[in-house]
Amino acid sequence: MNTLKAIANDWVPSLSVYEPGRPIEEVARELGFSDQDEIFKLASNENAIGPSPKAVQAMRQAAKNMHLYPDGGAFYLRRALAAKLNVPMDQLLIGHGSNELIELLGHAFLHKGTNIVMADRAFIVYKLVASSFLADTIMVPMKDLTHDLDAMLAAITPQTRIVFIANPNNPTGTMVDGAALDRFMARVPEHVAVVMDEAYIELLPPEKQPDTIQYVRQDRNVFVLRTFSKTYGLAGLRVGYAAAPKDGIDLLHRVRQPFNVNAMALAAAQAALADEEHVAKTRTLVADGLEYLCRSFEKLGLSYVPSVTNFILVKVGKGRDIFTALQRKRVIVRPMDPSGLPEYVRVTVGTKKQNAHFIRALKEALKEIRG
């Protein structure tokens, strides 16, 4: 009999565990599907057309050098990002996905007695990270499933260290515009760091992307987080980045591991960044897919939350039951009860074939569950 739980830090055994989208292999094992059964995972907002072919080529090249440690400073990827974003290289830090960057922010800013402010239907990882640093989470209700920035400002206390804004937001698929962010930034107090988590920003046409990098150039208390997991189709590699004033990047460097991003991920991300064609293709696929899904939901009499991202919330009644029924029909979506939206499931926009299969399966699942 071990005593591990008894000797662990006393807050750790009660921390919540994140429930990710279910892996295809796990569902296949559980439900007894064979290798020939195609299972569609529309649960984690991955890119339905896969990684950029240029990234795959770069990974092949990089594979030959896997006996060498990566460049811990990520020089070439930072140089490419600096040119693209028009910020100096020392205002950029590469992370093992933006999830790692969120954790590094916790290391740098959070401890017992501090708090974070976030929206109550925003990305749940912020709260999980805050809890692991013994910081409190102030949940601010959304308005129409959209960030209510005025209410978030009003919720800030002297102990607040970070305000998290996921924009566009996961799981709601909604966003706030640049003017709203400008008003927020004009009023946010100086003892707070604002984290703009822009995991889906590249899916928006450039003219609709709020210019948040300007706050970095203005030397404000801001961290802009982005990722190669979604639009760039590299979720399996784990690579994201933060743009922030040099002082902020310096802090994160002190709390990161020396080789936090692997060499294959660095090579692939750099190649993907240069592949504009793949980004354009992805935007078109997502726009067409969303239109098809919305039309189909309307035909089925289901309401949904209009989305600017590659996923959408649809109101199905008993979300957890529909999620379970859909798995038997070889589609994995995401139940939303952990996000406080038990009547919804979240579905990622897939290929044409995947979307059509999902709609057929949903129709059947609704019939079964409603009886």
Ligand X SMILES: *Cc1c(COP(=O)(O)O)cnc(C)c1O
For ligand X, the binding residues (CB under 6 A) are 45, 97-99, 123, 166, 170, 197, 199, 227, 229-230, 235, 240
344 DSSP assignment: E
Find the residue with minimal CB distance to ligand X: 97
Closer of 170 and 307 to ligand X (Cβ): 170
* Distance separating alpha carbons of residues 96 and 100, to the nearest angstrom: 5
Closest to 79 in 3D by CA, of 69, 64, 94, 66 = 94
Which residues, other chains included, contact 326 with Cβ-Cβ below 8 Å and sequence gap of 6+?
Answer: 332, 333, 345, 358, 361, 362, 365
Minimum gap (Å) between residue 77 Cβ and ligand X:
14
Backbone angles phi, psi at 83, to 5 degrees: -65, -40
Pairing of strands 115-119, 136-140: parallel
Minimum gap (Å) between residue 338 Cβ and ligand X:
14
Closer of 241 and 330 to ligand X (Cβ): 241
Closer of 166 and 305 to ligand X (Cβ): 166
Minimum gap (Å) between residue 226 Cβ and ligand X:
8
Minimum gap (Å) between residue 189 Cβ and ligand X:
24
Closer of 210 and 240 to ligand X (Cβ): 240
* Distance separating alpha carbons of residues 245 and 227, to the nearest angstrom: 18
- CB burial readout 177-210, b (16+ within 10 A) else e: eeebbeebbeebeeebbbbbbbbbbbbbeeeebb
Minimum gap (Å) between residue 229 Cβ and ligand X:
3
Closer of 45 and 354 to ligand X (Cβ): 45
CB atoms < 10 A from the CB of 129, how many? 23
Closer of 97 and 245 to ligand X (Cβ): 97
Minimum gap (Å) between residue 101 Cβ and ligand X:
8
Minimum gap (Å) between residue 214 Cβ and ligand X:
21
The DSSP secondary structure of 56-74, one letter per residue, reads HHHHHHHHTTTTSPP-TT-
Closer of 242 and 359 to ligand X (Cβ): 242
Q: Quick one: how many helices (H) and strands (E) in the chain?
A: 14, 13
Helices (H), 90-245: 97-109, 125-132, 149-155, 178-187, 213-217
